[in-house]
Amino acid sequence: MKRFLSMFFLVFIFLPYLSSQDYYIDDFKDFTFEIPDGWETMTYPGLKYKIICGDSLNGYNQNMIFVSEEVSGSMEEVVSEYFSGQKGPDDSASAYTVITQEKFENNYNLESQKIIIELPEGKGIAKHYFYLFKHNNLLYICAATLSHDAEPEIVEMLDASMRTFQILDKKEEE
């Protein structure tokens, strides 16, 4: 029994080091989250944050893009304002359909929302997943694109990744 307990604690101590899971920390040290298994980061000119890319499935490139902006008002007001500015008569992207808009539970108790929209693209329909995280007067948005018929496991992997999203505390240097 003593040997079993020793092995158990040894495995328990080293388990985090054996994990293949990677964490994304942006260059500005604003936030971090657990990257989905098999996805990679890449720098794209002109974007503040790196793009996170998964495998291409059914002709769609799986990706996550982050933006941040200063906002005022509640999360509901911010979301309402965002959607009211998206429907333009001459804009092909205004043909989207909101599938889901709900509170999103985050491991770090950030005020969060998850919005899923469908948008006709090329040969089919893509689903766009928006994860919004509000911290003080900053809104962080993760926009992820998956194919319309993405496996439920992929969607759950994306949700699990976004549950680990957290804002990093910046210490003022003296």
pLDDT in tens, 101-144: 999 999 999 999 999 999 887 777 889 999 999 999 999 999 99
The 3-state DSSP class for residue 95 equals: helix
Q: Which two tokens stand for residue 171?
A: 């210490």
Between 23 and 9, the more confident residue is 23
Q: What is the pLDDT of residues 32-56, one digit of tens each?
A: 999 998 899 999 999 999 999 998 8
Helix (H) and strand (E) counts in the chain: 3, 10
Count of domains for the chain: 1
Q: Is residue 173 one of the residues assigned to a domain? A: no
Q: Is residue 109 one of the residues assigned to a domain? A: yes
Q: Is residue 71 one of the residues assigned to a domain? A: yes
Q: What is the CATH number of the domain that holds 84?
A: 3.40.1000.10
Mean pLDDT computed over every residue of the chain = 82
Q: What is the DSSP pairing of strand 40-42 with strand 51-57?
A: antiparallel
Structural domain span for residue 142: 21-167
DSSP 35-71: PPTT-EEE--TT-SS-EEEEEEETTEEEEEEEEEEE-
- The CA–CA distances, whole Å, from 155 to 29, 108, 151 equal 26, 20, 7
**Residue 167 β-bridge partners:** 31
Name the strand (E) or helix (H) holding 3: helix 2-18
Q: What is the DSSP pairing of strand 40-42 with strand 97-103?
A: unpaired
Q: Which of 7-16, 23-32, 54-63, 74-83 has the lowest mean pLDDT?
A: 7-16
pTM beyond 0.75: the answer is: yes
What is the DSSP code (8-state) at residue 125?
A: E
